[in-house]
Structure 1
Amino acid sequence: MGSRRKHARITTELPKELIQAINERLVAGETYEGIAAYLRERGHDISKSSVGRYGKDFLAKLERLRVVKEQARTIMTEGKDGPALEMTEAATQLALQLIMERLVTAEDLRDAKSSEILKALALLERSAVQREKLKMDAGRMLEVAISRIKTSLQEELEKNPDVLERLIGMVDAVAAEAKEKQ
């Protein structure tokens, strides 16, 4: 199955400022015919069909960006990890999704860029493993800190057991809350 031929007159013949103006007009909902007329007024004979092909690709990319932004927002609000890990987790999940969409067809695996895609997948996987290791290390460090606090409190408060029990209960409550946030 052959791929659709790209028509690049807009991107190759027009200055960046004019392309930006076209993009803004597309976002504003102006018709392809109106944009073609706008280009003719500026001395560029670009057909309505060329504008339409460019507009279709541009608007599809714009919609994809909106979806990705919404997905990132959702991941951020539903994330259980601390703020430092939320952005990397969101970025990793979105990048994996985009890569997997690229690998949908068997033709893509034979594509010259397939090795680059597979390398990117490997890097993302390594990043995910490192993130999980960081979470586990943080959990272990929290357990060690809790144990040390309890031991210190016990040594200092052996003479007053009621206060010791209340303080240990408070530390346990804080620890349980911290674990829920992990």
Structure 2
Amino acid sequence: MSKRRRKHFKIEDLPKNIRAKVDEMLASQNPRYTYEEIEFFLYQEGHPIGKSSIARYHNSFERITERITETREKLKVLVEAVRDQPGTDIAEVANQLMMQGLLQRVAQAEDEFDALPLDKVGRLIASLERSAVQREKLKFEFDKGVAVSTEKIKAQLQEELKADPELLSRLIEIVERTKDELTA
């Protein structure tokens, strides 16, 4: 069974203040620092690290930055989509994100598949499915409760407003519209 090796960048071993300065230089847009300038800075600080090491670290740094930005944008869209929805919709979105991440990990495993802890992945998938079933059960119970309440309210309105059928009709329409909004 082959173990997955972690990429180790020389820059990660630098003192925090120097690494922070390198990160700042790599992220800088104006002025944009070249790898040679960063290499010279590190040399002056007593850390001779070559341009190729800086470039490898920078590529990793950029990928992480892109993934964070992409995730942030997706979350903004999701929050907007479920802002006015009941809490179960937010949980459903979170479950779908988690399931997507797990499936991506399985799909990208390829030659590392032997090292992938399938028991953990299996337990996570099973847990997500159980929570999805519980959420559907909760929605069903909620909709059932709304339907029963609606019928009780309509029966009480009919009893109280026998003498005013027009008002009764308008109130029943309001109750039905509210029921539809709650169970949509």
The TM-score bracket by the shorter chain reads 0.7 to 0.9
Structure 1 pair 122/177, CA: closer, same or farther in 2 (3 Å)? same
Distance change (3 Å), C-alpha of 1:15 and 1:144: farther
TM-score (norm 1): 0.80
The Cα of 1:94 is off from its aligned counterpart by: 2.3
Query: How far off is 1:61 after superposition?
Result: 1.6
Higher relative contact order (CA 8 A, sep 6+): 2
1:93 to partner: Cα distance: 2.3
Matched residue count = 179
> Which residue among 13, 34, 38 is the counterpart of 1:31?
34
Q: 1:93 to 1:150 in 2, by over 3 A?
A: same
The one of 55, 59, 70 aligned to 1:52: 55
User: With structure 2 as the length reference, what TM-score do the two structures score?
Assistant: 0.79
CA deviation map 1:15-70 (0-9, x unaligned): 33433333333222443333333322322222221111111112112111222222
Point out the more displaced range, 59-68 or 159-168: 159-168
| Secondary structure of residue in 1 paired with 2:172 | helix
| Matched ranges for 1:63-142 at <5 A | 63-79=66-82, 82-104=85-107, 105-142=109-146
In structure 2, give the amino acid aligned to 1:10: I
Out of 153, 156, 164, which is 2:160 matched to?
156
Structure 2 gap segments, 5+ residues each: none
Once the two structures are overlaid, the 10-residue window that deviates more, 110-119 or 57-66, is: 110-119
